[in-house]
Amino acid sequence: MRLLYFAWVKEKVGHAAEDIDVPRDVATVAELIAWLKTRGPEFAHAFDQAEVIRTAIDQAHVQHDARIGDAREIAFFPPVTGG
Amino acid sequence: MIRVQTQDFDVGAEIAALKAGRTDIGAIVSFTGTVRDAHGDVTEMTLEHYPGMTEKELERIEAEATERWPLQASLIVHRVGTLKPGDNIVLVITASAHRDAAFDAARFLMDDLKTNAPFWKRESGPHGDRWVEAKTADEDATVRRHDR
């Protein structure tokens, strides 16, 4: 699975993208975030206020209770500020 | 039509291209968003985005507007990269037979873009860099729209 990070999430994590094998018991976005936070202090820091972070699965917005299923690409980012 | 680009746009040229050869358009509304330096502390603004998803979201937003209002044409142009105060950021143009649809659709396009299109602004100035925070008012605008 490919994970992408944008804006300050990317800065806190320290990189923009990675390919990763997610444990099979990680079923939802919320569970994925909880698992990511165990991967190191930079992830714990980036996802500290998890409720603020927005998520997209295969380039479509989803809520944190969304199931990951067979997602190819999951992106994490702050609330958007375009326009 | 939607475009994401680093280069500037010319509002007059875009409107001219949109209505070229057409006589069914009676109203054209354009909105231009520009880089603001209200307090004299912004020297640069950098726009980051999510290539691929950005285009999908803008196309979805435009399709939704076209479904809700009788539009003859529409255009969304959003710039990315490093900009300076006064520079253009975003352009929305809507064209319809009558003004109501053009006004309402233009507002809808901007409101939806501001809450859903994956762009992030970073301001640089003499006091350092900071990510611009999302405004609750933008979220409220989208809620207001969905309540209608």
Digit-coded pLDDT (tens) for B82-136? 999 999 999 999 999 999 999 999 999 999 999 999 999 999 999 899 999 998 7
Residues from chain A contacting residue B118 (CB–CB below 8 Å)? 6, 56, 75, 77, 80, 82
pLDDT (tens digit per residue) in A21-77: 999 999 999 999 999 999 999 999 999 999 999 999 999 999 999 999 999 999 999
- Across the interface, whether the CB atoms of A80 and B78 are under 8 A apart is answered no
The mean pLDDT value for B7-29 works out to 97
- Across the interface, whether the CB atoms of A56 and B90 are under 8 A apart is answered no
Q: What is the CA radius of gyration of chain B?
A: 16
pTM across the whole model: 0.93
Residues from chain A contacting residue B47 (CB–CB below 8 Å)? 82
In a domain, A82, yes or no: no
In a domain, A83, yes or no: no
Residues from chain A contacting residue B114 (CB–CB below 8 Å)? 80-83
- What pLDDT is attached to residue B98? 96
In a domain, A8, yes or no: yes
pLDDT (tens digit per residue) in B20-44: 999 999 999 999 999 999 888 999 9
What is the arrangement of strands in the sheet containing B44-49, beginning at the earlier edge strand? B81-83, B44-49, B119-125, B128-131
In DSSP notation, chain A reads: -EEEE-HHHHHHHS-SEEE----TT--BHHHHHHHHGGG-HHHHHHTTTGGG-EEEETTEEE-TT-B-TT-SEEEEEPPP---
Mean pLDDT in chain B?
93
In a domain, A36, yes or no: yes
CB neighbour list of residue A62: distance below 8 Å, 6 or more residues apart: A29, A55, A56
Provide the CATH number for the domain around residue A33: 3.10.20.30
B95 three-state secondary structure: strand
| Partner A contacted by B147 (CB < 8 A) | no
- What pLDDT is attached to residue B148? 39
- Nearest neighbour of A80 by CB, restricted to B56, B89, B115: B115
Q: Which domain holds residue A39?
A: 2-77
Closest chain B C-alpha to A9 CA, distance in angstroms = 11
Q: Would you identify the CATH topology of the domain B2-147?
A: Aldehyde Oxidoreductase; domain 3 (3.90.1170)
- What pLDDT is attached to residue B126? 92
Helix (H) or strand (E) holding B131: strand B128-131
Which of B138, B134, B65 has its CA nearest to residue B103?
A: B65
State the total domains in chain A: 1
